[in-house]
Amino acid sequence: MASLPTGKQSLVRTVSTVPFYVSRKQCNVSLSNKKTGNQPMSKQRPETKAIRLQTPKTGEKEHATPIFLTSSFTYESAEDMAEAFADDSLDVNIYSRFSNPTVDEFIQKIAALEEAEDGVATGTGMAAIFSTFMTFLKKDDHIISASAVFGSTHTILTKYLPKWGIEYSYFNMNQPESIEALIKPNTKLLYLETPSNPGLDIIDIEFVTAVCKKHNILFVVDNCFATPAVQQPIKFGADIVLHSATKFIDGQGRVLGGVIVGKKELIKELYLFIRNTGPSLSPFNAWILSKSLETLHIRMDKHADSALKIATALQNHPKISWVKYPFLETHPQYTIAKKQMSNGGGIVTFEVKGGIDGGRKFLNALQMLSMTNNLGDSRSIASHPASTTHSKLSEEERREVGITPGLIRISVGLEHPDDILADIQQALEKS
């Protein structure tokens, strides 16, 4: 083989001396940091773990975590390769649809923040939700879900699951006591978002846990609006927590991703479903998301401080009928929010007077806030669900899931809160 120029040769030498055989389990075990002194990693606070958990350093001694942007992994011998393929549960990287060190780093960080045993990542939040339903439900099973769930989740529940013989029932987030009456002998899973999108309904996770435990039902929480920096549903008894990582976890509107965490035995089933059917997270997106976690706590604090300031300032505005924010005392589930969330999160909703038309006028009058359907970005975003994401529902259907005609959802960004408020106030004057 022709020899490489000196620089390249040394690159090849350094890299090839490193045993690059980081497996799912090895990655988990070695997610540690020698520079943290005597304090064991398990004792560190979540903010520290979100920054310091990292795959082992390569021979290049990089500071920032590297990206393992590779579709597959190699073996030292034919025997090693045969062994890797012989056992599905063996902790060896084979192919990035199955596992990848960068993806594992992201998973292990989320698992640490959610206080979960293990996790698995997906290409989008919807892939996380769909994979969970497909793994734990089968023909003739029954699922109970909150009616106030994200639009595409509603589509899976009402259009796809029945096609495969899985029936669903909806309950109202504001009436948790109605859940028990919906339980049937074939009920296998209970699903909800808290706070919900876009209505910001909140439910007592401990209360729902008790109902699920009594009837041996798997309890799944979409924790996308709160993030693990604000709420850890597993601490209150949930079995599985999932996220659209596309939102606050990314935090800058760049990549799509999803993640599911829970007990090891549940995650093993999910892992095998995802490994075989393919909704896996790309290592590039995992790298972005893992780096984003380094700033998650500080960002969520800032989103929440600004959101509370804006929600408070908008109360009693003459162009608004009501304002909703989990940490406003006027929120119907304020006490529950205070019990299970460390702050109110980054989303504020309000009702502009003047119905659908008033909502449209408000959006058109905005000068700085972005008009887009995403949320959880450093840039503040305004959306009007009745004329966009939920326009295909009847007014009655919208009302049932808390979407009133003039409902505006503000994803409060990281700009100066006075600038965000000033734009909202000037747009209200014109709507």
Ligand X SMILES: Cc1ncc(COP(=O)(O)O)c(C=O)c1O
Q: Which is nearer to ligand X, 258 or 413 (CB)?
A: 258
Query: Minimum distance from CB of 244 to ligand X (Å)?
Result: 3
Cα distance between residue 263 and residue 251, in whole Å? 27
Question: Which of the ranges 47-55, 118-126, 207-215, 352-360 carries the binding residues for ligand X, by CB under 6 A?
Answer: 118-126
Query: Minimum distance from CB of 24 to ligand X (Å)?
Result: 23
DSSP character string of 66-101: P----SB---SSHHHHHHHHH-TT-----BTTT--H
Question: Which of the ranges 25-33, 91-99, 119-127, 364-372 carries the binding residues for ligand X, by CB under 6 A?
Answer: 119-127
Cα distance between residue 9 and residue 6, in whole Å? 5
Single residue of 23, 147, 232, 244 touching ligand X by CB under 6 A = 244
Structure tokens at 100: 């990848």
Cα distance between residue 241 and residue 219, in whole Å? 9
Contact between 281 and ligand X by CB under 6 A: the answer reads no
Binding mask 56-85 for ligand X (x = CB under 6 A): ------------------------------
Contact between 300 and ligand X by CB under 6 A: the answer reads no
Contacts of 88 (CB under 8 A, 6+ apart): 272, 275
Single residue of 55, 231, 232, 246 touching ligand X by CB under 6 A = 246
Query: Minimum distance from CB of 336 to ligand X (Å)?
Result: 18
Helix (H, G, I), strand (E, B) or coil at 104: helix
CB 395 within 8 A of CB 405: yes
Single residue of 112, 126, 307, 414 touching ligand X by CB under 6 A = 126
CB 65 within 8 A of CB 102: yes
Q: What count of other Cβ atoms lies within 10 Å of the Cβ of residue 167?
A: 16
Query: Minimum distance from CB of 355 to ligand X (Å)?
Result: 24
Helix (H, G, I), strand (E, B) or coil at 169: strand
Cα distance between residue 208 and residue 180, in whole Å? 9
Single residue of 256, 289, 366, 421 touching ligand X by CB under 6 A = 256
Residue whose Cβ sits closest to ligand X: 125
Degrees (nearest 5) of the Cα angle 39, 43, 45? 105
Contacts of 382 (CB under 8 A, 6+ apart): 362, 363, 366, 369, 370, 371, 408, 409, 410, 411, 424
CA separation (Å) from 334 to 201, 202, 210?
10, 8, 21
Question: Which of the ranges 56-64, 124-132, 199-207, 364-372 carries the binding residues for ligand X, by CB under 6 A?
Answer: 124-132
DSSP character string of 292-360: HHTTHHHHHHHHHHHHHHHHHHHTT-TTEEEEE-TTSTTSTTHHHHHHH-SS--SEEEEEETTHHHHHH
Query: Minimum distance from CB of 14 to ligand X (Å)?
Result: 38
Question: Which of the ranges 101-109, 121-129, 298-306, 422-430 carries the binding residues for ligand X, by CB under 6 A?
Answer: 121-129
Contact between 389 and ligand X by CB under 6 A: the answer reads no
Single residue of 46, 119, 125, 417 touching ligand X by CB under 6 A = 125
Q: Which is nearer to ligand X, 84 or 126 (CB)?
A: 126
Single residue of 224, 267, 311, 352 touching ligand X by CB under 6 A = 224
CB 193 within 8 A of CB 150: yes
Query: Minimum distance from CB of 60 to ligand X (Å)?
Result: 33
Q: Which is nearer to ligand X, 135 or 246 (CB)?
A: 246
Query: Minimum distance from CB of 213 to ligand X (Å)?
Result: 24
Contact between 150 and ligand X by CB under 6 A: the answer reads yes
Residues in region 168-207 near ligand X by CB under 6 A: 193, 197
Q: How many residues bind ligand X (CB under 6 A)?
A: 12
Q: Which is nearer to ligand X, 96 or 223 (CB)?
A: 223
Helix (H, G, I), strand (E, B) or coil at 277: helix
Contact between 124 and ligand X by CB under 6 A: the answer reads yes
Single residue of 222, 239, 294, 351 touching ligand X by CB under 6 A = 222
Question: Which of the ranges 90-98, 120-128, 173-181, 280-288 carries the binding residues for ligand X, by CB under 6 A?
Answer: 120-128
User: Which DSSP letter does residue 201 get?
Assistant: -
- Which of 155, 200, 173 has its CA nearest to residue 326? 200
CA dihedral 358, 363, 369, 370 (to 10 degrees): 150
Query: Minimum distance from CB of 245 to ligand X (Å)?
Result: 7
Binding stretches for ligand X (CB under 6 A)? 124-126, 150, 193, 197, 222, 224, 244, 246, 256, 258
